[in-house]
Structure 1
Amino acid sequence: MKLVIINYGAGNIQSIKFAFKRLGIDAVLSDDAEEIKAADKVIFPGVGEASSAMAKLKATGLDKIIPTLKQPVLGICLGMQLMCNHSTEGDTTGLGIFNVDVIKFSKEVKVPQIGWNEITNLQSEFLTSIPENSHMYLVHSFYAPKCAEMIATTHYELDYASALQKENFYGVQFHPEKSGVVGEQILKNFLSL
């Protein structure tokens, strides 16, 4: 299986690569459109700031390639947020895969949300064999509100979409690569899609 991690200067790439290595998969880092299109599975990672991350995608033309991919694609953290219509972080137009706008938590709560939190209301074969109320690791100040493409929720100030799915596109706000046994199972589920 050829697994490509999109390389556009976003953080957390090495921890994702190590997580798949533990599962016996040597992921390839690439910003080459043809290599990404030829992959069996694609990871769209992200730790950083939305507008600068989108600028890097545009500079390589990957903003046009990602929405056209036909194989399973998993956006992680900022990767998921960039797959949405828009983010208020840097007033950033996203890739428009998920029909929801990303917004910031209010001043009533501490941001970023850092640490372990539960995922609930699990739907989709992507989350098969994941127990309801499993704890996942999160680090974020912006979130996708509840929407039609939501396949899991998390509560922090309010219930929000912690996982999204539309056709072959999947997105998680949490970091499966840093979420222990349950996170590893989610990555296995992605590999078996």
Structure 2
Amino acid sequence: MIAIINTGCANINSVRFAFERLGVTPEVITDPAQLQHFERAILPGVGHAKVAMERLKQGGWPQAIAEYDKPLMGICLGMQLLCEHTNEGDVTCLGMIPGNVQLLEVGELTSPHMGWNNLNNIKAHPLTKRIDQHQQVYFVHSFAHTPNDSSLAQCEYGSAFSAIVANDNYAGMQFHPERSAKVGAQLLQNFIDWQLP
């Protein structure tokens, strides 16, 4: 059973419908005490990092997420909140994924980074199964995780940034798999299938 953590900062329905199309019916939860009863969890998020972190703290989520020992994946802002720090509002985040989030240096390109883009530097991992650099996923963001050892896949938009990250049982996708057609469906299926060592 998959839990979708409702922080009030995400479009819960689009994520839920994407899993339902794969034959899985996730449950939206609002109480941190519920989290431990699920086999895996999704932390979605859109909007401003400072506001989202404040809502997580007010809801009592940081401790529950830190103590969770099964697969948990952040999507978009949810991925950024799993990192150590974000420059968006100068906020200390949950610290489950090593590294920091900074404003994406886009050069002459338009910000935010919005639209379809290729993944590259893809590492072998259960979450990247059947994914290659010729496939595209859908992004909407202006801040991004700086690539490091936790990066499973990167993307290039003015500069390189992490598109998929993982550390122990925690993972994140900067793009929106629920809006990324067949590739996104494969990525969500990979998350469903992900078994920890």
- TM-score tier, shorter chain, comes to over 0.9
Are the counterparts in 2 of residues 19 and 184 from structure 1 also a CA contact under 8 Å? Answer: yes
1:44-82 C-alpha deviation (Å, 9 max, x unpaired): 101111000000000011012112211101110000000
Aligned residue runs from structure 1 range 19-168, under 5 A? 19-106=18-105, 108=107, 109-123=109-123, 124-168=125-169
- Is the deviation greater in 102-111 or in 78-87? 102-111
Give the deviation of 1:107 after TM superposition. 6.4
Identity of aligned residues (%): 37
1:25-54 C-alpha deviation (Å, 9 max, x unpaired): 111111212211110110010111100000
SS at match of 2:155: strand
SS at match of 1:99: coil
- Structure 2 equivalent of residue 179 of structure 1: 180
Runs of 4+, deviation exceeding 6 Å:
none
Instruction: Give the number of the structure whose residues are more often strand, by fraction.
Output: 1
Provide the aligned length of Structure 1 versus Structure 2: 192
Are the counterparts in 1 of residues 33 and 64 from structure 2 also a CA contact under 8 Å? Answer: no
| 2:164 partner amino acid | A
Aligned residue runs from structure 1 range 4-19, under 5 A? 4-19=3-18
Are the counterparts in 1 of residues 98 and 167 from structure 2 also a CA contact under 8 Å? Answer: no
Are the counterparts in 2 of residues 31 and 62 from structure 1 also a CA contact under 8 Å? Answer: no
